[in-house]
Amino acid sequence: MREGFANQMSHSNHSHKLHWGAAFTINLVIGVAFAFFAQWLPSSEGAKRIVTRIWGPVVTQTYPATGRDQVTVMLIDDLDLRQYEEMWPVSLGFHQRRLQHLLKYGPKAVFFDIAFLDDRRDPDLDGFIDTACRARQQGVPVFIGSFANAGLTPSRVETEMLKRRVEVQGKSLPCIEAAYLNLKIDGFDQSVWEYDVGLPEGSQDGHEAEHGRHADAVRYPSPAARLYAIDHQLDKEVLEEPMALVWGMKTDPFNLSWMRNDEHDVGTGRPCAANWSMWRVLPFGKMGPPLCPYQRTLPLRTLNLANGLDAGGLHKALAGKYVIYGTHLQSTADTITTPYHGRVAGAYLHAMALDNLLSFEGRPRRAGEFAEPGSGAVTAFTLFALVVICGFIAVKERVSPRLKKGSDEARSASHGIADKDHVEPTAWRRLKGLLRAIGRSLRSRLVPGLMFGTAALAVVFLLIYVSYEVLELGPMVWVEYALFPLGAHFLHIGEKIEEAFAWMLMQWKGGHEDEESVKTA
């Protein structure tokens, strides 16, 4: 009976193994094709984000607390409005009094994560601007959020805020500066994985002529870039490339003293997890609640020495800090979804981006896709990772049969000796023979498996190091181009295609030999 296609392929796989160079090339071509087309495959992109949520913290556990110790998030929540007997939106006079209170503690800068979109003349506008001018004279720059980059004409209130200037040491400086309220929501899981540091995509100088009232509106960088530039300078390439946000895992200890969490059942609201645990990477069990916010967080009422803080504690939390002043209200939609902290106030987005700039000393981790314009480092790493992994696979597929052949020969030799010295087996000899057979079987399977498993881990750690530390790429890049290619090999995708090539080669050679035989006859 004629053999089926699968049996012929299996037979050809043993009798006509491709040269290791051909196997390497096949796997490399498959890997490059997957890398290029994966960005248009929803299942691949979704799986990449799930894996990054699980394994990303394994690397980011080493994320330094340098930035966290310099940033404080101050939020207005619903309890604050009740205690201050206010309704949202509050007047500019309310913000002015909070700014005056903040200045007593000497922050490094204050960013209002609030867009002032009202065109009506607010009677407290001049007072708010006057306070911001005094802050500038004290060396504390004040920033506000703006949507001007998105094509919205600045409101009268925003325009008036940005016009006023003040003399500081012989220089004319703006009392208030604007920052673009950028937000890049991921299209697959609605989380925030990236952040535009400089000018957002689509900003064009032609926009300036259209809005002559505020010609430089399109030139606003992000809040994180504005705040970081107070004491530092950002490279042009950092401003032009999207940042891969690295979300910190180890929450500020102060947050655990007033937030409801799994270690201290205090406070109100939804509970959060105090720490990330390696148990979260296991493929079973519950994930647990989202992590508590990373940066030190102060409710606005803390300015009245609430939440267990005295004047000394408040000074420690605010003095010399970048203060992100935002809202977390049920009546507003100013929230974002994060990979590890769940749904949080939008102020944490800019706080975490600034934290990344400070912790990585102005060299944040970069985002991008393979073969995407402006993602040269991602493309270079992808090709490097594929070459390393395909080389590893080619070596493994060539060495594995030799190891198996050696173990089979050793097993045959041991059987031959046993047959030569055959005596009537006793129960003890049967048991010894069984144990030897089990040991040989384990050695023939377990030792090669451990060898290649250890080698695969070494390859993955090498690629993670090159990606994260050397090329400064974000976690999603090494997850996609280090773990996924090995996973494709474990699914035997390359091996099956290699077998198909070997079978076709055997068929071609067989047909060619038949033709030669006919000619000879």
Q: Which residues contact 229 (CB under 8 A, 6 or more apart)?
A: 221
As given in the structure block, the two tokens for residue 229 are 């530039």
As given in the structure block, the two tokens for residue 438 are 């089990």
3-12, 18-27, 182-191, 443-452: least confident range: 3-12
Q: Which residues contact 326 (CB under 8 A, 6 or more apart)?
A: 73, 74, 75, 76, 112, 113, 114, 334, 345, 346, 347
What is the distance, to the nearest Å, from the Cα of residue 266 to the centroid of all Cα atoms in its chain?
A: 31
Query: Phi, psi at residue 290, to the nearest 5°?
Result: -65, 160
Local confidence band at 174 (pLDDT 50, 70, 90 cut-offs): very high
Is pLDDT above 60 for 255? yes
User: What value does the mean pLDDT take over residues 28-48?
Assistant: 71
Task: Give the strand pairing for 165-168 and 335-338.
Answer: unpaired
Distance CA 447, CA 11 (A): 26
Q: Is the dihedral of CA 277, 278, 281, 285 positive or negative?
A: negative
User: What percent of the chain lies above the pLDDT cut of 70?
Assistant: 67
What is the distance, to the nearest Å, from the Cα of residue 248 to the centroid of all Cα atoms in its chain?
A: 10
What is the rounded average pLDDT for all residues in the chain?
76
Residue type, 518: V
Q: Classify the phi-psi angles of 116: left when phi > 0, otherwise alpha if psi is within -120 to 50, otherwise beta.
A: beta
Site of tokens 């300036």: 208
Distance CA 23, CA 17 (A): 9
Is pLDDT above 70 for 19? no
Distance CA 378, CA 311 (A): 48
Distance CA 168, CA 262 (A): 49
Q: Is residue 285 within 8 Å of 61, Cβ to Cβ?
A: no
Q: Over the stretch 387-433, which tens digit does the pLDDT of each residue have?
A: 887 777 777 777 766 655 555 544 554 554 444 445 555 667 666 66
Distance CA 162, CA 92 (A): 15
SS3 state of residue 253: helix
As given in the structure block, the two tokens for residue 106 are 């000497």
Local confidence band at 100 (pLDDT 50, 70, 90 cut-offs): very high
User: What value does the mean pLDDT take over residues 286-295?
Assistant: 82
Distance CA 202, CA 72 (A): 31
Q: Is residue 157 within 8 Å of 116, Cβ to Cβ?
A: yes
Task: Give the strand pairing for 109-115 and 194-196.
Answer: unpaired
Q: Over the stretch 384-399, which tens digit does the pLDDT of each residue have?
A: 887 887 777 777 777 7
SS3 state of residue 4: coil
Query: Phi, psi at residue 174, to the nearest 5°?
Result: -70, 140
Q: Which residues contact 373 (CB under 8 A, 6 or more apart)?
A: none
Task: Give the strand pairing for 165-168 and 171-174.
Answer: antiparallel
**The whole model's pTM is what?**
0.78
In DSSP notation, 408-446 reads HHHHHHHHHHHHHT-----HHHHHHHHHHHHHHHHHHHH
Query: Phi, psi at residue 459, to the nearest 5°?
Result: -60, -45
